[in-house]
A and B are shown apart, each in its own frame.
Chain A
Amino acid sequence: MRIGVFVCHCGSNIKATIDAEYIAAQVQQDAKVVHAAEYPYLCAEGGQQKIINAVREYQLTGVVICACSPRMHENTFRKTAAKAGLNPYQIEIANIREQCSWVHKNKDAATGKALKLAKAAIARVKLALPLFAGESAVTKRALVIGGGIAGIQTALDIAEAGFAVDLVESTPSIGGKMAQLDKTFPTLDCAACILTPKMVDAAAHEKITLHTYSEVEEVEGFVGNFTATIRKKARSVDMKKCTGCGACWEKCPSKRIPSEFDCGLANRTAIYTPFAQAVPNVPVIDRATCIKFKNGRCGLCADVCQPAAIDFTQEDAVFTQEYGVIIAATGYQVFSLDAYGEYAYHDSKNVITSLELERLMNAAGPTGGKLQRPSDGKAPKKITFIQCVGSRDITRGKPYCSKICCMYTAKHAIAIKEKYPEAEIEIFYIDVRTPGKGFDEFYRRAVEVYGVRYIKGQVGKIAEMNGILHMQAVDLLENKRFDTTADMVVLAAAIEPSPGAKPLAQMLATPMDTLRFFSEAHPKLRPVESATAGIFLSGVCHGPKDIPETVAQASAAACKAIGVLAKDKLITNPCVAKVNDKKCTGCGRCIDVCPYKAISLESNAAEANPALCQGCGGCASLCPSNAMDLNGFTHKQVLAEVDALCR
């Protein structure tokens, strides 16, 4: 080994406190250090050239640089080493600026410490092995799981960049929750009007393939090289023949099935499309409720279908496909109110959730847009809204704020007042959270222009008596308890991740938090990437957010995905885990500790996938045999560093 040590002055930043000449002289006492020099600015062009020249002149096989923090210039000096013909991982940096000259006033102490740090770096470089970044291929195809606004936006952005996208959605149509909404805040745009053009674009785009009424069953592989198995459930309708005329569901005799799209407030038929603007506009037969599938009788839909598109013998189709990236966009559901019996949600038809209210207000909904009490069809004169039902509640519900409810309730209040100016509206809240663009102005309009009454307080109990909802309530600002009544009560129930999210996270081997939201790689700096390379996050599956944020994040996720797809090869970080399979006993303890599921057992020994491994070293320190090690921070390197520093 022939080591060169270079001590930087960094102008006077280091030199004023540390005797660089002394260090350069002292380190040469080590027989393996064949050259040592000091220089004013090693990172500058001249300094780098000095290093390159020295490597050549003294045939150096390892370089130690005593200078500023490696967090500043490690990459710079790695490139310098590469230019000089050295492996970029056979350099070590001793931090004698941020962690020495700048924090210690006493020159002797600082110089003594700098020498120790230099010796530690020398000990490390003696054990540094050449490391080579690996390469892996990239399949230029994306899989987007979830066909709501988030999945649609991500798919459109990736397709526009020129890459093929498969968009998988478990319900018969794309559109998600946004398709169920009436208006959107803060502009009171009609949700369907802004969503359906995107749905049509997604269906029409030549690079996007829709797989509706489909589910992902299995995912294997790693970034650039995923393989997914997808089940297309049998619609019982031939998509190539169906014209979307609707004759089938008009004639279907099985009419009393609660419509999922209408939150059970209206019925659908057994053969159905979920809503009028469904994409694709091809119905499915719900075989659990279809008379023909239950007892063999009927088949009216096939009789009236002119293109003969009905196919009762159709089976599920399972296919496998390769993808370079996967984006999770599984959205949310409204959480169950079982634990909140005091609000009488299950006892009274006139206590509804906000999503149910959206259906009632929607012109395409069960009441044609007329706001009616579900119990008797009468128009409600007084409507009470209760916020935070299940949110911000560590005892019975969710600890988090569901983020969208303050705004959508203000929206509901304004929308109702627009149609029914005489309606009386009160809203019980804990806080009113309006952080977005135009949001606070919108809420104040509700109060100042539309006369909506906001009460900071809670409702304790609701009971319906003679068709009126009686409530016991508390007003915290007035500091009084009072009784109130309403014709209809709307609960802003918490939102939570869809039920399919957790099984999907396990399939993708990507972490979730305890609330079943997908975990991002870094909460501030990497919000759309999951901890697993190649898996990205779009929409509420990552955390509660409104439509503007969802669309922004969806595009951001697409951007990150495109960053992978646009490469022909991925360079893998070489400072990754490696196994000495002579020592490994295959106990498998390293597998559980890896945050990236990068380790697997192959033929009785562990194997770390360099494309997935991010180099944390948790496995290496866990291994009782030291069979698992970490390139760049090996057992021997760290022990040598410890020895050098402590002697």
Chain B
Amino acid sequence: MNEQEKMRTRAKELHAAGIIKQVLAWEAGAFPSYPAPAFFTKPNAFEKIVYNEFCTANLSKYVINITEKTLIFLRPCDAHSFAQLVKENQVKRENTYVIAVGCEGCVQVDEGEARDLLESCRTCTKTDYPLFDEEINTQNNPRESTNKAARFAEVTRLDSEENTARYAFWQAHFSQCIRCNACRNICPTCHCKECVMDSDHPLDGQFYHAIRALHQDGRCTDCGQCSRVCPRGIPVHLLNRKLIYTSNK
């Protein structure tokens, strides 16, 4: 795809025109299949911007409280969480210059090799960008209409089971939870200065996940990052999807 070239070019042009001071995008990591979010402050670094199917990280949370005018590239999932952060006054829109980029989905990585699309990308239903200043290849957003059903397939499957079966399902997962807090760290809506789970409740496990999901009710944009980063593979995003499903009804 030629988005990467267009992104690098546009970054240079905007910087030269004095419109932006820095760029938030992905740069190549130690391995080609692990690019990382990064701030690019000097124009000669813009050549290092990468954009490919391994760029799994959602960039929107990094702009919280940004003070320099920053160019940020947003795919539909990131764009929705970015819009939510603007709505919650966590980022000043005027400090950002948003380029909407087309996305064909990101992939799981296994031993350095690309595998299937991430679950959140397979079930993605987003094609629009709530806030943006320019676009690059946004017509390249193939979303099958079946993705709508796929989005809630796992939720409805669990719903159709017995309550005790669900309990066993979640017990099996949550007994593995080590409270590494990766899900909380990556989540754009978890921007509390002090998490109530650290200050008010010496209680972990399902209590933490239940409260977290409920605190995100109405705010979660279903970006799927929480499950992606869980080292134990706990599908925490299903809790958020269940709440979205219930409130949609």
Contact = CB atoms under 8 A, between A and B. Distances in A.
Interface of A: 582-589, 601, 604, 624-627, 635-636, 639
Contacts of A626: 196, 199-200
B89 A601 contact: yes
Nearest to B191: A585
Contact of B196 (A585, A588, A624): A624
A350 B231 CA distance: 80
Nearest to B196: A626
A583 B200 contact: no
* Size category of the binding interface on chain B: 10 to 19
Contact of B90 (A585, A624, A635): A585
B215 A624 contact: yes
A627 B195 CA distance: 10
Contacts of A635: 200
A613 to B, nearest CB: 21
B193 A582 contact: yes
Contact of A587 (B90, B194, B199, B200): B90
B203 to A, nearest CB: 11
A639 B191 CA distance: 24
Contact of B193 (A601, A625, A636, A639): A625
B88 A587 contact: yes
B68 to A, nearest CB: 18
Contacts of A586: 88-90
Given A624-B215, A626-B200, A587 B193 contact: no
Nearest to A605: B89
A589 B215 CA distance: 11
Interface string B215-242: 1100100000000000000000000000
A560 B54 CA distance: 67
Q: Which of B192, B195, B219 has the most CB of A within 10 A?
A: B192
Contacts, number: 43
16 contacts: A582-B193, A582-B194, A585-B89, A585-B90, A585-B193, A587-B90, A588-B87, A589-B88, A589-B219, A604-B89, A624-B192, A625-B194, A625-B195, A626-B196, A626-B199, A639-B200
Nearest to B212: A624
Nearest to B189: A624
A626 B196 CA distance: 7
Contacts of B196: 624-626
Interface of B: 87-90, 191-196, 199-200, 215-216, 219
A461 to B, nearest CB: 42
7 A-B pairs with least C-beta separation: A587-B88, A624-B215, A625-B192, A586-B89, A626-B196, A583-B194, A583-B193
B89 A583 contact: no
Contacts of A584: 193
A565 B118 CA distance: 65
B126 to A, nearest CB: 22
B192 A585 contact: yes
B89 A587 contact: yes
B194 A588 contact: no
Contacts of B199: 626
Given A584-B193, A624-B196, 16 more contacts: A582-B193, A582-B194, A583-B192, A583-B193, A583-B194, A585-B88, A585-B90, A586-B90, A588-B89, A601-B89, A625-B192, A625-B196, A626-B200, A627-B192, A635-B200, A639-B200
A75 B239 CA distance: 45
Counting chain B CB atoms within 10 Å of each CB, which of A582, A587, A639 scores highest?
Answer: A587
B106 to A, nearest CB: 28
A636 B199 CA distance: 11
A639 B195 CA distance: 16
A387 B51 CA distance: 70
Nearest to B199: A626
Contacts of A601: 89
A633 B87 CA distance: 29
A302 B159 CA distance: 80
A588 B191 CA distance: 13
Contacts of B194: 582-583, 625
Contacts of A582: 193-194
A63 B87 CA distance: 45
A589 B217 CA distance: 12
Contacts of B193: 582-585, 625, 627
A583 B195 CA distance: 9
A604 B193 CA distance: 13
A583 B199 CA distance: 11
Nearest to A624: B215
Nearest to A588: B89
Give the interface centre of B87, B195, B196, B219 by most chain A CB atoms within 10 Å. Answer: B196
Nearest to B194: A583
Contacts of A627: 192-193
Contacts of A636: 200
Nearest to B215: A624
Nearest to B201: A639
Contacts of A604: 89
A585 B65 CA distance: 10
Contacts of B216: 624
A175 B194 CA distance: 59
A601 to B, nearest CB: 7
Nearest to B84: A587
Contacts of B87: 588
B155 to A, nearest CB: 23
A188 to B, nearest CB: 57
A67 to B, nearest CB: 31
Nearest to B214: A624
Contacts of A585: 88-90, 191-193
A425 to B, nearest CB: 53
Contact of B88 (A583, A588, A639): A588
B215 to A, nearest CB: 4
A604 B215 CA distance: 20
Nearest to A626: B196
Contacts of B219: 589
Contacts of B89: 585-588, 601, 604
A51 B191 CA distance: 48
A587 B86 CA distance: 9
A635 B200 CA distance: 9
Nearest to B216: A624
A252 to B, nearest CB: 54
A636 B200 CA distance: 8
Contacts of B191: 585, 587
A62 to B, nearest CB: 22
Contacts of B200: 626, 635-636, 639
B193 to A, nearest CB: 5
A627 B199 CA distance: 11
Nearest to B64: A585
A588 B200 CA distance: 22
A602 to B, nearest CB: 12
Contacts of A624: 192, 196, 215-216
B31 to A, nearest CB: 35
Centre residue among A585, A589, A639 by max chain B CB count within 10 A: A585
A81 B86 CA distance: 48
Contacts of A639: 200
A132 to B, nearest CB: 26
Nearest to A586: B89
